[in-house]
Amino acid sequence: MKIALLGDIAFFGKFSLKNNNSLFDYFKEVSLLLKSYDLVIGNLETPFVTNQKEYGYKSAYIKSDPINVDLLKYLNINLVNLANNHIYDFGGESYELTKKILEENSISYFGIEDKQIEINYESNKLAIQGYCCYSTNPMGINNQRQKGINELDYSNVQKSLLENTKKGFFNIIGFHCGQEHVNYPNFDHILLGRKLAELAPYIFYGHHPHVAQGIEKIKNSLLAYSLGNFCFDDVYTKKSEDPLIKQSKNNKESFILELTLENNK
């Protein structure tokens, strides 16, 4: 079984079909590549928004027009993480709309409402989960484990990892954490990843820093702390004509993490 993990995906600005009708050509080669995988997973940062208003108080908000779900399908992305600090930028109505659009287009999601995805494919059994760290300043954290984003809490992650392993699942766990635009993972997150690797084999699927960070193998686990930006434009605010976050050579670079599993190994 071949799996592709992608970095941060944000369909706004020049990466929105509403503003750029040449995106299918732009993504043509990577689309052909991703169609060679049995499963493609990405971190979807932008909620789908129609006329919803910004929610809470943040320095930056990002959103996507619903038409951009066509890009997810074109790129063969069939599973997305929603445990991140932007998916609730426009409140509960946009959050529900995002879920609805994904469901209508047969794109599964995880990382919210205590939801995990279980996949049986050939000789493999996968359990896929996602968690968002408070340090990323998210809105809509799911404290009751019913509605909203799954919080990164060690006891919850540990419990799920051990329960899934006992049931015969191999775990892929998305972690939305780390310091933005820094190429080295936080020491706390290194300790977190290594501590979990002592319990059971799993994949640490990291995102949020928007730049590539290191990979290490601990026992039978693979820890990829950040895959960088798959696609992300400059971020503007209403306060200035200059971008709050400008794309550079460093944050334009990303990589696809390819996994090959056979008999859950």
17 occurs within a structural domain: yes
**Token pair 């993990």 in the structure block, residue:** 5
Sign of CA dihedral 218, 224, 185, 173: negative
pTM: 0.94
- 8 A C-beta contact, residue 1 and residue 38: yes
Mean pLDDT score, 78-84: 98
Instruction: Choose among 47, 114, 129: nearest CA to 81.
Output: 129
- 8 A C-beta contact, residue 108 and residue 117: yes
What CATH number does residue 250 fall under?
Answer: 3.60.21
What's the total number of domains in the chain? Answer: 1
Mean pLDDT score, 227-239: 82
125 occurs within a structural domain: yes
41 occurs within a structural domain: yes
265 occurs within a structural domain: no
Domain housing 170: 2-260
| pLDDT one-digit tens code per residue, 27-53 | 999 999 999 999 999 999 999 999 888
Question: In the predicted model, is pLDDT for residue 62 greater than 70?
Answer: yes
143 occurs within a structural domain: yes
| pLDDT one-digit tens code per residue, 90-118 | 999 999 999 999 999 999 999 999 999 99
In this prediction, residue 240 carries a pLDDT of 62
Mean pLDDT score, 200-204: 98
